[in-house]
Structure 1
């Protein structure tokens, strides 16, 4: 089901030279290009133009950079892990991107 490959550079904080990112990690994912209104980490209502679904364990805090399969680089607005312990349902990480 995870048909796409993306590159994730996890946001690590700001420095005197701007945002700092971890090394690029290639991840299998499912990417959709739906336009949705979502809430950012600060509670502001923003527009997400790409949504990424990946396996649990993806590290992509808000502010991280993601390079999508089409080559576009986007920024993470929010991410959520979906789990269902004991139910046998699929588990995933959902990432909303600018």
Structure 2
């Protein structure tokens, strides 16, 4: 089983993160190893394996997650004129915890 950076590190406090927005169910923070000049990650605080495998959680949690993604994306778009929102599935998903990337700019690497 793949490691879950979000549960094991970011949500546990083991790895400090710079919080952008937080609700009871969702945490948005600056990526700890950004791939873009603006790179924010939005995760549910509960372990949800992926967008296609909610791990028994209600779709309502995904709606609350997407509301935070929408708010963060609106802020980035307002501040920078554009943004991208991405989630990965299957082999593309390094950490098996649902998360969205909200990013702006050209890749740094």
TM-score of the superposition, structure 1-length normalised?
A: 0.39
Higher RCO, 1 or 2 (CA under 8 Å, sep at least 6)? 2
- Structure (1/2) with the larger strand percentage: 1
TM-score of the superposition, structure 2-length normalised?
A: 0.36
